Amino acid sequence: MSDQQDGAEQEPNAMDREFDEFWDKVSCYVVANFPYDERCDFVLNATTCITDTIFVPYMRMLACDLKCRNQFQELVYLTLFVAFCLQLLMCLTHVVDMYYSPALKVVSQLLHMNEHLAGVTLMAFANTSPDLAANLAAIKQEVPVFANSLAMALFVSMFTGGMICYISPFKMNTHGTVRDILFFMLGVALLEYVMVSHGAVTMNECFLLVMVYISYIVVNILDVYLMRKAMITLEHQMAELQDQPFTPEVRRKLEKLQEQYSEYAEDATVEILERPDSKVRGSIVNPLSDKLSFATKRASRVRLSVNPQATRSVFYNLTAGRNHGLLMDFFKTLNPIDVAEWRENNMFGRAFQLAMAPAKFLCAAYIPLVDHEMEKHGWSKLLNCIHTFLNPAITIVVSMALLSSDKKKLWYWQLGNTYIYGLYSCAITVPVALVVFAHSRSDVPPIYHWLYTIMNLTGSTFLIFVCASEIDKLLGVVGNILNIEEDFMGVTVNAITQALGDLVANTAMAYQGYEKMAYAAAIGGPFFNVLLATGAVMYAKLNIGMEVTIQEQTGQYGTNAYIFLNLGLFATLLWTSTLDFFARRSMGVFSMGIYFLFLVFALLTHQNVIHSFAHDPTVEPSLYLD
């Protein structure tokens, strides 16, 4: 009897607690080691099979819904997953090209930024904030954030930066490029120092990383301010010289001032430029565009500006009713297939149109378009009024469902609890939509049309996050099912998938003629990720009592990524100064080659052909000496 009482009063030991917490801690990917007929029970109990899901529970789908029972079926389903990954990539590309990029141009103009400042602030933050959110959502996992962040920074700065140079060679912002690269090298070296100095990271060191990034932004803002003050001073000096007798000395001074002023003016503002596919978009541009082919324009580096006032009022007609063509505009905007393009395309072109149709319809129904290059700036009265209440409601409801704390249910089961937030949102936005409908016209956008840029950016960023994160998770499932090392996946496949938003956005901006903005984002984005995103994850880990050590954060490939990133930044600094800051296609290939060299090293390390730069564990002789 006493033994039974002792047993009843016995407190659970560490092993008991480990068994109790097994389903909360075990990785969902362990299921790959189980027999096929036992996998469904495992994924139904493992908490990480829910918490590691963004939208689609792939592991549960394989084991339970599709009832995969052999390796052949598994490979077939993985092939279908990769096809779905391509569909997500097309959606991501369409969002960036048609919605995200035009909105960035409009916001840059409204905030009176130049291309470089817009690249290192707006574009860098918008590209990298989804990665920050994804990393913060997985702070309890033992992931080498330092190694993965450096690998992604290497991909964006070297591969994406090289792609920008290859797509559209341009004259760089001289002092801005040097400053950004030097700041980037400082940030990477500082992060490595705080990791290595005493083997762990402290709160004060996290704050130091944040302060370095804030200093970088302040310096960039001050640079634009001082440049514009200098332009005003030059204007006064040129005006004074023009009032003087036109002597040879005055002429030389005036030419020198005009040359300096022209150099500043190139980076003064963000212009709305004609897109290469402007005729497809139906925008009204500079008349010179009809006389120049796209190849001629790119060869001669002609930058053709769009007249926003002309594109805004192209259909403005006071003799027509306020709602003239309302339904026609609505259905034309929602239609995902262009009839004229469909007739001109061959079988493959039509197949591509059909593949893009779901993404186009989803984006048109969810995101309001604000593009000064398009007729009426993309305004569709009825659809935009629907966007006024539909866009924030969907964003809020789905975001709250994804952030739900219930670890035992998938996100869509939380919609029954979060729909109330959408109703609260509609209670505010539906009256606003009615006011907009009563006040506006269908043939010209209202003066407050720029406010829709806010919903454009939030909706675009949300879809970019969803698509990029889903691609990342999907390829992670494929890699783990095929038994590929997790650290290797993190610095190669996962780093690329997480940076897909940066790649698509930056190359799209370069293709449209905003190379300076795109290249600034290719440096500013990874700098933000290395300092703020990595620092925020470390701070969050410390805040919940976890220890951040160099061994955990570096992994096997972290030092490799650190060395190649510094090598790439130093090489970029060298070739930019050597070539007088003209970004050539050959230098784009060179930069991309540095990233491919890193991949070769990582692959050879993964295959145990060579040894990585990681430290090997050592044995202390004193432990075995008497």
CATH number, domain of 251, equals 1.20.1420.30
Q: Which residues pair with 171 in a beta bridge?
A: 582
What is the enclosing helix (H) or strand (E) of 582? strand 582-583
DSSP assignment letter at 373: T
Are 364 and 333 in contact by the 8 Å Cβ rule? The answer is: yes
DSSP string, 455-507: HHHHHHHHHHHHHHHHHHHHHHHHHHHTT--HHHHHHTHHHHHHTHHHHHHHH
Are 408 and 23 in contact by the 8 Å Cβ rule? The answer is: no
Q: Is residue 487 part of a domain?
A: yes
- Domain of residue 199 covers 70-272+337-379+444-624
Measured distance CA(390)–CA(157) in Å, rounded: 37
* Number of domains within the chain: 1
Q: Where are the beta strands (DSSP E) in 138-240?
A: 170-171
What is the enclosing helix (H) or strand (E) of 583? strand 582-583
Measured distance CA(561)–CA(530) in Å, rounded: 12
Task: Using DSSP bridges, classify how beta strands 582-583 and 170-171 pair: parallel, antiparallel or unpaired.
Answer: antiparallel
Count of positions (residues) in the chain = 626
Measured distance CA(381)–CA(386) in Å, rounded: 9
Amino acid at 213: Y
Coil, helix or strand at residue 273: strand
Q: Is residue 163 part of a domain?
A: yes
Q: Is residue 247 part of a domain?
A: yes
pLDDT for the residue numbered 22: 67
Torsion angle in degrees (nearest 10) through CA of 592, 158, 141, 488: 20
Q: Is residue 616 part of a domain?
A: yes
Structure tokens at 227: 């440049």
Q: Is residue 362 part of a domain?
A: yes
Q: Is residue 290 part of a domain?
A: no
Q: Based on DSSP, count helices (H) and strands (E) in the chain, helices before strands.
A: 32, 2
C-alpha torsion sign, points 305, 309, 310, 315 = positive
Measured distance CA(335)–CA(357) in Å, rounded: 8
End-to-end Cα spacing for the chain:
50
Q: Is residue 196 part of a domain?
A: yes
Measured distance CA(624)–CA(626) in Å, rounded: 7
Count of other CB atoms within 10 angstroms of residue 282:
12
Are 525 and 133 in contact by the 8 Å Cβ rule? The answer is: no
Q: Kindly report the CA angle at 531 between 526 and 532, in degrees rounded to 5?
A: 95
- As averages over each run of 10 residues, the pLDDT of the chain (626 residues) reads 51 56 73 82 80 79 84 87 86 86 84 85 80 63 77 93 92 88 91 76 79 90 87 83 78 81 72 56 39 37 66 84 88 88 86 88 91 86 92 88 69 79 90 92 89 89 83 82 80 84 86 87 89 76 70 78 93 91 92 94 88 65 50
Tokens 């060579």 locate to 610
φ/ψ of residue 170, rounded to 5: -155, 170
The residue among 472, 460, 361, 346 whose CA lies nearest residue 53 is 472
Count of other CB atoms within 10 angstroms of residue 386:
16
The residue among 273, 510, 504, 459 whose CA lies nearest residue 372 is 273
DSSP string, 412-454: GGGHHHHHHHHHHHHHHHHHHHHHHHHH--SSS--TTGGGHHH
Q: Kindly report the CA angle at 337 between 334 and 341, in degrees rounded to 5?
A: 135
Q: Which residues contact 625 (CB under 8 A, 6 or more apart)?
A: none
Measured distance CA(126)–CA(457) in Å, rounded: 8
Coil, helix or strand at residue 256: helix
pLDDT for the residue numbered 297: 40
Are 184 and 158 in contact by the 8 Å Cβ rule? The answer is: no
pLDDT for the residue numbered 514: 86
Are 378 and 112 in contact by the 8 Å Cβ rule? The answer is: no
Structure tokens at 525: 């984005």
Q: What is the widest separation between alpha-carbon atoms in the chain?
A: 117
Are 428 and 392 in contact by the 8 Å Cβ rule? The answer is: no
Amino acid at 452: Y
Torsion angle in degrees (nearest 10) through CA of 143, 145, 147, 153: 140
Q: Is residue 34 part of a domain?
A: no
What is the enclosing helix (H) or strand (E) of 597? helix 585-606
What Å distances lie between residue 484 and 272, 487, 488, 554, 557, CA to CA?
46, 9, 7, 18, 15
What Å distances lie between residue 590 and 16, 159, 503, 560, 581, CA to CA?
56, 9, 17, 19, 15
Are 419 and 300 in contact by the 8 Å Cβ rule? The answer is: no
